[in-house]
Amino acid sequence: MDEEQYIGKVTRVRGSVVDVSFDNKLPPLHSVLYTGTHSKVIIEVLLQLDAHQVRGVALTPTQGLAREMKVRYTGRSLEVPVGDTTLSRMFDVFGHTIDGLSDPLDVVWRPILRDPPDLMSRATRSAIFETGIKCIDVLMPLERGGKTGLFGGAGVGKTVLLTEMIHHLVGQSKGVSIFCGIGERCREGEELYREMKSAGVLPGMVLVFGQMNEPPGNRFRVGHAALTMAEYFRDDKNKDVLLLIDNVFRFIQAGMEVSGLMGQMPSRMGYQPTLSTELSKLQERISSTDKGAITSIQAVYVPADDLTDPSAVHTFSHLSASIVLSRKRAGEGLFPAIDPLHSASKMCNPEVIGQRHYQLAQEIRKNLAQYEDLKDIIAMLGTEQLSSEDRKTVNRARRLERFLTQPFFTTEVFSGIPGKVIPLEETLNGFERILNDEFADIPENCLYMVGGIEEAIEKEKSININESGSLHEA
């Protein structure tokens, strides 16, 4: 390619939108242009205006950019490095390291925009991905090679739950883990890097960040960059990949900003008209093939706690499991604040998890739903006006609610309670005994923030000993 043929000039700058004219052949869509002092302004072509002009969005700040400045096109699109040497490193959307260390060697650069695997190469496996978190493993089991969404408004614990799942899963995962921070606070990225390093799991991880202060075009592409790295380990190395995304709403929001900058007419509630297409292009690449699987866990911010918001609705359609976080439960101190009645998983059927597990999950949901229906009566008349059967249901449901709570490693420094990982069989036994009313006479607080059911029994014994000791002193 004759590079001189691809020298253009800036004709217009409007915020992050830059128009560039070329005398001869136009660069194709999604190609990358370089301009500004020392070529530090990077532009992605999104529109061909006519035979000589293209319009693009700057992926870097445009300070100092002016009309008539030279623009260089090198025949490439946006690329990131892939290879084993990327493990334990932190990158930005351009593939540059941001962990203060030198660039990795022995890497191959690949374009970030790639086609999803074809249908014939995809694999469908109905296997459970155990997390060690009681509420998730029992009521909404995750699919190995599937996509899981953590839905919730601001401050209900999405990032805490995602970080806890990283803590549980990265250590036991035999494959590679990739964390993608879209529109992240730099503080959260630094904390995660430090925590993963101290936990000794960084050698099996790659971290990719598009920070909050980056231009929208940058944040819009960071998810694709992380996926290209994940696809390398899946397709070239035949490994299972755990992909963690925080936060999908920031990807949609960045697309909304880019759409507005490009002058597109907004759709419902101000979202871009291409919302569904843009999200599908990202989500369809997250899949299992006959070579390996990409298991994805994605945090999704829900504006104003409204699950009918278009961003949440479009994301729901791509997931195999959805975990909805409730502000009400968070206010009651029931952490993780997962709403068991609104969360669901397609794995929760007897053919996959077995008849016993399925029946227990259904019984738990049934008791919690009945308790929810009785709350209005209790608020007005008190529990004394309930029938003996309803009182039993309330008693059982309150104990189930407390047993669904769990101390986290992530919050150990704040709560002072050591974090717990509970095997599925132990969790099922605990719920079975509560449903059989074995713990009807035990104070419900004994089941709050414990691991297995045996811990609740020990807690009751210690309370009884303390009480008897106090009486003896009196």
Residue of 12, 114, 122, 185 marked catalytic: 185
Q: Helix axis angle, 355-381 relative to 424-435, nearest 10°?
A: 50
Residues 6+ apart with CB under 8 A from 364: 138, 139, 340, 400, 431, 435
Residue of 143, 164, 184, 214 marked catalytic: 184
- Please choose, from the candidates 197, 143, 144, 207, the residue with its C-alpha nearest in 3D space to the C-alpha of residue 174: 144
Residue of 55, 134, 144, 158 marked catalytic: 158
Contact 233, 239 (CB under 8 A): yes
Active site residue 158: yes
Cβ density class 312-328: b for 16+ within 10 Å, e for less: bebbeebbbbbbbbbbe
Give the count of beta carbons closer than 10 Å to the beta carbon of residue 83.
Answer: 18
Decide: residue 138, CB within 10 A, 0-12 exposed, 13-18 middle, 19+ buried. buried
Q: In whole angstroms, what is the distance from residue 43 CA to residue 17 CA?
A: 9
Q: In whole angstroms, what is the distance from residue 18 CA to residue 43 CA?
A: 8
At 54, list the tokens.
Answer: 């293209």
Q: In whole angstroms, what is the distance from residue 108 CA to residue 237 CA?
A: 14
Could you report how far apart the first and last alpha carbons of the chain are, in Å?
93
Active site residue 184: yes
Active site residue 461: no
Give the count of beta carbons closer than 10 Å to the beta carbon of residue 241.
Answer: 27
Contact 90, 193 (CB under 8 A): yes
Residues 6+ apart with CB under 8 A from 177: 166, 169, 170, 201, 204, 205, 206, 241, 242, 243, 244
Q: In whole angstroms, what is the distance from residue 79 CA to residue 59 CA?
A: 13
Q: Is 93 helix (H, G, I), strand (E, B) or coil?
A: coil
- Please choose, from the candidates 280, 321, 295, 301, the residue with its C-alpha nearest in 3D space to the C-alpha of residue 148: 321
Contact 19, 11 (CB under 8 A): yes
Catalytic residues, which ones?
Answer: 158, 184-185
